């Protein structure tokens, strides 16, 4: 079952069709939303999908400064 995202428009997203291995499961983005293979008959959005969505949105990500090593 695919669960729509509240904050990500998955219908024309550049990561459409991408799958993420996450804690022994696989989360995949579809046009209709996200799905995960952790449950046989999911009734609600699992924590794996929520975590992948937050990662895409950049929640709790640290910012790194990229410096050139060439002078």
40 Ramachandran zone, left/alpha/beta (phi>0; psi -120 to 50)? alpha
Whether residue 6 is predicted with pLDDT greater than 80 in this model: the reply is yes
* 43-65 pLDDT per residue, tens: 889 999 999 999 888 887 666 56
In sequence order, what are the residues at sequence separation of 6 or more whose Cβ sits closer than 8 angstroms to the Cβ of residue 53? 5, 7, 8, 34
pLDDT surpassing 60 at residue 71: no
Show me where the domains of the chain are located. 1-71
Report pLDDT for 60. 73
pLDDT at position 39 = 86
Q: What is the pTM of this model?
A: 0.78
């Amino acid at each position: 079952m695919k669960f729509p995202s509240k904050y990500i428009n998955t219908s024309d997203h550049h990561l459409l069709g991408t799958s993420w291995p996450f804690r022994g499961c696989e989360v995949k983005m579809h046009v209709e939303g996200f799905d995960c293979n952790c449950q046989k008959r999911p009734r609600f959005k699992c924590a794996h999908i929520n975590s992948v969505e937050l990662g895409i949105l950049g929640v709790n990500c640290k910012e790194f400064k990229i410096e050139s090593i060439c002078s």
